[in-house]
Chain A
Amino acid sequence: MTTVEHNRSLFGNLAGALAQLRAPGEGSSLLVAILLGVTLLMSAANLLLPAESPLYVSTYTITLMGKYLCFAMLAMAVDIVWGYCGILSLGHGAFFALGGYGMGMYLMRQIGDRGVYGNPDLPDFMVFLNWQELPWYWQGMDQFWFALLMALLVPGLLAFVFGWLAFRSRVTGVYLSIMTQALTYALMLAFFRNEMGFGGNNGLTDFKDMLGFDLQADGTRVALLMATALLLALTFVASRAIVQSRLGRVVVAIRDAEPRARFLGYRTEGYKVWLFVYSALVAAVAGMLYVPQVGIINPGEFSPLNSIEVVVWVAVGGRGTLYGAIVGALLVNYAKTRFTAVMPDGWLFALGTLFVVVTVLLPKGLAGLLQRGRTTDAETRGENNTGEVSAGDAPAEPITGEARA
């Protein structure tokens, strides 16, 4: 009951706020405000109210919300490269999972001798596979700062190397998408291997605490949620600043007419690489926040289908608008949670239909719907439609040339 009202109010508020968007600047601040406000309210309701209270928010909802926000961040990361730069990455799950593994390794080391075998150094899965000592790449991961650094450095570096190779050789369109898919697929296969020392299929799990706080305590969960909301807000603001800077405009220019940008003297591959790296870092941060909240990281996160799903969230929300990606991720995941519980045998029908309907009827996603509403409002009021318009209005489809070639 409580979650019902809560969710309704949450999405009601969000929707209302989005509907009132006039200029992206205002609306975005509104989004941040709502995000932080709702999180704060939920946290307070969870910690301060007794469980019997009708306004109490269960820890389940807190965790769920935390997960959604991580997904929202991931979706935003995909949107930055896809919506603004036309790089359709079908492998962003790789960066998300790598960030998650970094955090997972730290959490694993924090277990110490509380594992089932009581080995102070080795994680359980290494003990029962008879490993004698900790592999080199696990060294130092017991330090939070180091793990954090690695969880950003590794995906960042991977994105840089991949991007540098791909963009420099002007791999574009479908080819690029399929390559990103190959990348995450290869990583998935690699992480499935038990010899890799990341726990194989089971991945890393059974975490105990983080920075000394018990991960199962309500307080920690609330803190994690708030941290996620805060970081989402931060990355959102940062990403907005980027896309509204000249860099952002160059990126959109590259999306729509890359040769033009190049003949104007822009080294487009450089822009793409940095944007890709930035996006990968955002995805990695999302992954890092995701793992302590859901309590497990395993190679399934690398699965190409997961990455495709993220793209679908963005499409549902509306690509080329940062808030669209966030709303899309929240909505689709909420729908998934509801559907899997309400109609466990048929939820894939509902989800599949949703995807088809959204793509066919709402090419710009829900954000496009809002914009359309806004435009008609503006037109009826006889205003001049000359204000700054978000990048989502771009009609061009960079991939067309290649695919139709």
Chain B
Amino acid sequence: MKHLLLTGCLLLALVTTLPAASAGSVVSEQAAPSATPASEEPGGNRQVLLARLTRASLRESAEVLDQLERSGGRAMRGLFAAMLAGDLYYHRETGRLMAVQKNPAGERIGSDIFTGEGLGVQSRGSIKKVRVNNRLRSHLRDAIARIDLMHGTEAQKEGAVLAILDDLSPQNMRLLQVTADAGQSDRVSELIELARAMVELRDSSVTDARLSAIAVMSGRLEAPVRNQLQRLLDDERESDRKIRIAAQQSLEEIEGRIAFYDFMEQLFFGLSLGSVLLLAAIGLAITFGVMGVINMAHGEMIMLGAYTTYVVQQLMPGAIEYSLVVAVPAAFLVSGSVGVLIERGVIRHLQGRPLETLLATFGISLILQQAVRTIFSPLNMPVVTPGWMSGVFAINPVFSVTFNRLYILLFALAVFALLLVTLKKTSLGLNVRAVSQNRDMAKAMGVRTEMVDAMTFGLGSGIAGVAGVALSQLTNVGPNLGQSYIIDSFMVVVFGGVGNLLGTLVGGFSLGVTNKFLEPATGAVLANIIVLVCLILFIQKRPKGLFPQRGRAAE
């Protein structure tokens, strides 16, 4: 502790005396030997600081970074960015800092942080990572924001100003002033104007000025705006009634808008949950809905799809971005062929005894689970989310849509559409429908019913596998994956009406949306229970689900 304090004092001295040369010599006593000649040059301090960075404790680093920012400014962005990303290493012997990234072959490729010049492959033992923690990361982020404010792209500038809204210190305001003076786009200027208004409201004592500041802030969705208004209203010392009323109105308007976006958000969450349910259920809608097999191994088909994704990613580590594109057909094939095997091996022998298929497929699901445990270990497997699927699409500060959910929603709809087309337009689909409606007649017409059965089951299983690919992006890839979806899947299919694909679609989405709209009021568990109870009651009303199979010969 004492030691730390001492270092702290030294650093303080360092900061105050900068750029006095004497400080450099203080440092250089403990710094790397390579720093000696450099200390004479203008950039000498920087070299010293960089060298210090490699040895500093996490606490010291922050100070060093501040000095680096002051000394280097824009030039330091690369360094900071590399450090923020955790890519900053230094050579154990030379002490040279470099950004290190792995190439697809797994080799560590170094590059100079300032020039970007390639430094070749680095062996694992020769380089060491520059330590970084949360505190430093937020420090770095702020520093980068400050640099970006001056020199960044439009989006970076916007982000930087937004970050500053949280911390309207005089120093930051001066920075904003400089930025504004340099002339900015409308959006950035608007944000800077907002920041000024917030400061005005906070610091000014002139009622009119403050009122017009509130007018500027009105309707803004940025969290700091809302927080400031809320704080103002909570503050007992704020006695100006006009201000209070204006702030109150402004806050109400903001909250009104937020309520709308909250609703949109919940709707999206519901649709997204619905798409997951749809994906999970859609394969079952074939195996169970069309073929009448109570397929308890359906969940395991999903699981196989997810594991296929994992294997595909292991096989193509250099092309994670494309792995999902490969995984979708691969999962379809893997799960589909396992499905065909199950149909040929077991279900075929249970023709016309659907309840018994429940028991046999239950056994199969146990076997598949244990097989996966034996082959892959019982642990969850890491499946990487490709870059294009991560991140959010921010519509405004309170409403954003995550890309992976969005893609999965679209994917679910696409799979559904494709399946519908397959069943309606292809000869396989025709055969499937023929067999499911009247097996004997179809047989008499020359349809190879056995073949069709195997293909149908394979199709349903394959689609379950495809669902597994999508689910691997959201949840555990482990032996229990299937079990967590099997019950929901059955609920969706039964709710929609067995044998009706459209019912599955509507069922999945309505269950998802209901669940998500209940959740804020009741909590996740109770929402789930309520949905189940409603489902039970619904089936009393419509014993054949949402879209029952019609016809005179219903008995």
Contact = CB atoms under 8 A, between A and B. Distances in A.
B541 A179 contact: no
Nearest to A401: B555
B353 interface: yes
Interface string B358-387: 111011111101110010000000000000
A339 to B, nearest CB: 11
Given A171-B540, A189-B528, A402-B498, A355 B359 contact: yes
B544 interface: yes
**Interface residue SS majority, chain A:** helix
Contact of A359 (B356, B367, B369, B487): B356
A308 B299 CA distance: 15
Contacts of B529: 186, 189-190
Interface string A323-362: 0000000000000000000000110110111111011100
Contacts of A186: 528-529, 532-533, 536
B352 A259 contact: no
**Interface residue SS majority, chain B:** helix
B541 to A, nearest CB: 7
Given A175-B543, A179-B539, A352-B364, A404 B354 contact: yes
A170 B532 CA distance: 19
B377 to A, nearest CB: 12
Interface in B478-532: 483, 487, 490-491, 494, 498-499, 525-526, 528-529, 532
A181 B364 CA distance: 20
Size range of the chain B interface in the assembly = 35 or more
B266 interface: no
B177 interface: no
Nearest to B554: A405
A130 interface: no
B363 A354 contact: yes
Nearest to B528: A189
A360 B292 contact: no
A259 B555 contact: yes
Contacts of B353: 363, 397
Contact of A352 (B367, B535, B555): B367
Given A186-B529, A355-B363, A359-B363, A315 B487 contact: no
B219 interface: no
B539 A403 contact: no
Contacts of A21: none
A352 B366 contact: yes
B362 to A, nearest CB: 6
A217 interface: no
B362 A404 contact: no
A363 B363 contact: no
Contacts of A308: 296, 358, 362
Contacts of B494: 174-175, 178-179
Contacts of B525: 189-190, 192-193
A311 B371 CA distance: 23
B540 A165 contact: yes
B414 interface: no
Interface in A391-405: 397, 399-405
A352 B370 contact: yes
Size range of the chain A interface in the assembly = 35 or more
A355 B369 CA distance: 15
Contacts of A170: 543
B279 to A, nearest CB: 19
B355 interface: yes
A342 B207 CA distance: 83
Interface in A299-327: 304-305, 308, 311-312, 315
Interface in B301-315: none
Nearest to B356: A359
Contacts of B355: 88, 397, 399
Nearest to B347: A360
Contact of B360 (A175, A177, A355): A355
A359 to B, nearest CB: 4
B105 to A, nearest CB: 36
A349 B363 CA distance: 9
A166 interface: yes
Contact of A311 (B358, B439, B490): B358
Interface in A189-227: 189-190, 192-193
B363 A404 contact: no
Contact of B499 (A181, A349, A405): A405
Contacts of A192: 525
A169 interface: yes
A192 B528 CA distance: 12
A405 B525 CA distance: 34
B436 interface: yes
Nearest to A361: B349
Q: Looking at A88, A359, A400, which has the most chain B CB atoms within 10 Å of its CB?
A: A359
Nearest to A397: B353
B294 interface: yes
Contacts of A359: 346, 350, 356-357, 359-360, 363
A172 B487 CA distance: 18
A193 B541 CA distance: 29
A183 interface: yes
Contacts of A356: 346, 360, 363-364, 367
Contact of B352 (A312, A348, A397): A397
Contacts of B362: 308, 312, 355
B537 interface: yes
A351 B349 CA distance: 19
15 contacts: A171-B539, A174-B354, A178-B494, A179-B535, A189-B525, A315-B356, A346-B374, A348-B366, A349-B371, A356-B346, A356-B360, A359-B359, A397-B354, A402-B498, A403-B294
Of all A-B residue pairs in the complex, the 4 with the closest CB atoms, nearest first, are: A355-B363, A403-B292, A352-B366, A352-B367
